[in-house]
Structure 1
Amino acid sequence: MKVVLFANTEWYLYNFKLSLAHELRDRGCDVVLLSPPGEYAARLEQAGFVWREVPMHRRSINPFRELRVIMQLSKLLAAEKPDVVHNFTIKCAVYGSIASKLVGTRGIVNSIAGLGFVFTSRKLLARLLQPVVKGLFRVSLGGVRSTVIVQNPDDLAFFNSADWLKAREVCLIKGSGVSLTRFRDRDRQSVLDRSKPLRLVLAARLLWDKGVREFIDAAKYLKAESPNCRFILAGTPDGGNPNSVSDEQIQKWQSEGIVEWLGHVSDMPKLFDEVDVIVLPSYREGLPKSLIEAAACGLAIVTTDAPGCKEVVNDDGKNGLLVPVRDALALARAIQRLEEDRTLCMSLGEAARERVLLEFDERIVIDKTIAVYEQLTNVTFQRVAPEVQQAGIPS
């Protein structure tokens, strides 16, 4: 069996899908990784995987350029002859599905982790693009050989209500999962020391719809009222997204002492070991990996009651605090509550990790994903003995 994994960045494949690629290889599959070029492509190849370049520009809406990308992708798939093509994010799902259908791929899986800029932004461009994207969904998604994977019930309801998909063509798998060997429990006792500031991090691509503005406004409010908090941004602006915060704006906030900006962080377990709370005031997500990674490390969670985010926090609030979307004052009050009640902060972190152990272990997510492949292809992806893999004997 050959499986192609196609994403809009090589960084995404390396950080979010490498465990899936390893598991597929352990089950005797040939794995080919596709993405636009970038520095993480070499790391994918160093991990022993075949990587192929797809010259896709994430922000391009030039129809001639985009048609060329689909044709190049079709040629690449025709040469590779995969049994399953698994596409990640909206643009890859549309282009990968069209190309896969053109070459007769046996199984097509589209993971749509949140509906993105087009469906969350209030900008004119987003409103103009919505009917276009829905039209592309209608043309590309669906069919007896296809399955759409979503990460939260709201997105499941969106696709189930679409007249271009049948219910059996959509399934819910919560998130990408988290490696519990890499993201481990930490000593939470230090959070009880109120002589030290409460350390809060927003770890994400620095987009306005991740709630960056609300995080900054909450920081401004609390630094005036209760200066015993440190606000940290971990991540970089995303030039491929129209909703990106600018470098200049972030540097201005940092120079004013509102936040500390770490830029890109490659060692996330180390970061989570050095903070107390993860904050994600996002407007809409698939199921945010940063939240479940932080929860696996025993951090308290403050996030919004938005689709995706609210799936990580229980309704009873025992493993995190939920606040309304776009409400900086409510966000500030939730943070202040944790600063004043450090015991609550610690107990939320303990409960957050317990939920991750039960629901978000990446092994659970990978097994469910491979079950989708098996359903589409009518083939069982069994693990192969190490000596068989080394000999290159087909399974």
Structure 2
Amino acid sequence: MKVNKIFLIGTTASNLYLFRKDFIISCIEQGHQVFTLVSEYDDVWLDKIKSLGAEVITYGLSRSGLNPFKDLKTLLQLREIIVEHQPDLVFSFFTKPVIYGSLAARLGKVPNVIGMIEGLGSPFTDHPTGQSLKMKLVQFFQVSLYRIVFPFIDKIIFLNDDDPKDLIISKKIYHRKDAIHVLGGIGLKLEDYPYSPWDTSSNISFVIVARLLIEKGIYEYLAAAKIVKEKYPNACFKIVGSLDTKNPSGLTQDELDNVIQSGVIEYKGFTNQIAEELKNSSVFVLPSYREGVPRSTQEAMAIGRPIITTDVPGCRDTVIDSVNGFLTPKWDVNALANKMIYFIEHPEQINIMGQESYKMAQEKFDAEKVNVKLLRIMGICN
């Protein structure tokens, strides 16, 4: 397929730079002209994207809003931009860009339209108390829009095998023949997360890297940490990530303050030094309810840390149980605590399983390999 001009339609400029940088560079090295479309941005991140050699176009999008008139305005604006620039291929990712970016591309007569569903998100995530009415409604509207747009998309890319089953097969959504592809994790530039065996002379520490949301398993992590701490007071439990006070499922500031004051955890907050935090921890923990393929877990694997995570879509793609870590049932605090205790009582397994994590990261999550696979799926690999 001859492609000269590629549109990448995302949301936040920071996200696009951090998670698409290597892909953008790969496209440019293949001789393609890349335009990135972002809806949330500041000059710092826009300049970072431009430094890669890509053009930047801004547009309006309400990521979590349910106002159909605003979404229609987004659709029309994207169509206008597409008609003006006449791209050969439009590649959108995340729910709303896939829906409205793909529709705009078809209305603008773009010959190649590709969408990536990186995870089904909150509307498809089970909670121990059940889904809220709002999330049920959001899922209904999302599925309805996917029914409209999927027949117009040439290739629909997922990160794990569960998501197309739970979305397309379960909801019986019509799509083009041979449109569905599974990429696996988006991948990492592995040299940014160099392998570093755990220092066996250090106290054993556990770390979660995530926004402090219910769906990330933050409450299960805190509850399990409390159980383990009572039995092994020297064990350390770290949290790396920021509060999301605008999200109704987020940990509140008061809850976080109480946990910090209790002495159960060390709160590191948001940091750009993720690799260093992972290097200084023994075991990575992510008791999430559902993921695409979690990047933070891939980072921990590359550095050589064993993983404790849940047996749910996305998370289960990062662990071979009892080889590079453990899979636990979702919401099961006692099972999570028991696996933490296992590493305290068998510290020699930390580097043994961590080495297996490192091998898996090399095989599955090397950005160079992943980008070649993605370019081939898109049909633009020279």
Q: In which range does the TM-score fall when normalised by the shorter chain? A: over 0.9
Note the C-alpha offset of 1:263: 2.0
CA contact (8 A) 2:168 2:174 kept: no
How far 1:159 moved relative to its partner? Answer: 4.3
Out of 301-310 and 236-245, give the one that drifted further.
236-245
- How many residues get paired? 371
1:237 maps to a residue whose letter is: L
Contact 1:117 1:243 in 2 (8 A): no
5+ residue gaps, structure 2, are none
Mapped to 2, the partners of 1:241 and 1:28 lie a distance apart of 41
In the superposition, relative to structure 1, how do residues 273 and 335 fare at CA in structure 2: closer, same or farther (>3 Å)?
same
What is the CA RMSD across the aligned residues, in angstroms?
Answer: 1.7
Report the alpha carbon displacement of residue 123 of structure 1 after superposing the two structures with TM: 1.9
Q: CA deviation at 1:137?
A: 0.5
* Deviations, residues 200-226 of structure 1 (Å, cap 9, x unaligned): 111122221011110111111112221
Q: CA deviation at 1:167?
A: 4.9
- Quick check: 1:291 aligned with 2:297? yes
- The amino acid across from 1:157 in the alignment is K
Give the Cα separation in 2 of the matches to 1:42 and 1:224: 49
Q: Does 1:346 align with 2:351?
A: yes
Deviation at 1:156, TM superposition (A): 2.7
Alignment of 1:263 with 2:273, yes or no, is no
* TM-score, length basis structure 2: 0.92
What's the offset of the Cα at 1:132? 1.0
Q: Does 1:135 align with 2:144?
A: yes
Residues 353-392 of structure 1 mapped to structure 2, 5 A cutoff: 353-374=358-379, 380-382=380-382
Higher relative contact order (CA 8 A, sep 6+): 1
Tell me how far apart the structure 2 counterparts of residues 139 and 17 of structure 1 sit (CA, whole Å). 27
2:158 counterpart residue number: 150
CA distance in 2, matches of 1:81, 1:248: 51
Q: Is the 8 A contact 1:58 1:240 kept in 2?
A: no
Identity of aligned residues (%): 28
The answer to whether the aligner puts 1:123 opposite 2:132 as a matched pair is: yes
For the Cα contact (< 8 Å) 2:151–2:175, is it kept in 1? yes
- Determine which of 186, 197, 209 is the counterpart of 2:203: 197
Indicate whether 1:89 and 2:89 are aligned: no
**1:241-320 equivalent positions in 2, closer than 5 A:** 241-315=247-321, 317-320=322-325
Q: Secondary structure at the match of 1:34?
A: strand
1:160 Cα deviation after fit: 4.6
Cα 1:71–1:249 shift into 2, 3 Å: farther
- Give the 3 Å change call, closer, same or farther, for CA 163–64 of structure 1 in structure 2: closer
1:331 equivalenced with 2:331 (yes/no): no
Instruction: Check conservation: 1:151, 1:286, Cα contact below 8 A.
Output: yes
Residue 45 of structure 1 is matched in structure 2 by 50
- What residue number does 2:79 align with? 74
The offset of 1:146, in angstroms, is 1.8
Conservation of the 8 A alpha-carbon contact between 2:123 and 2:135: yes
Aligned AA (1:352): S
The one-letter code sitting in structure 2 at the alignment partner of 1:113 is E
**Correspondences of 1:146-225 after superposition (within 5 Å):** 146-161=154-169, 162-188=172-198, 190=199, 192-193=200-201, 196-225=202-231
- Residue by residue over 1:279-298, the C-alpha shift from the partner in whole angstroms, topping out at 9 and shown as x without a partner, is 11011111111111110100
Stretch moving more, 284-293 or 269-278: 269-278
Does 1:226 find its partner at 2:227?
no
Residue 4 of structure 1: aligned partner: 7
Counterparts of 2:367 and 2:17, CA distance in 1: 15
Q: Judging changes above 3 Å, is the alpha-carbon distance between structure 1 residues 160 and 251 closer, same or farther for their aligned structure 2 residues?
A: same
From the superposition, tell whether residues 159 and 361 of structure 1 become closer, same or farther in structure 2 (CA, over 3 Å).
Answer: same
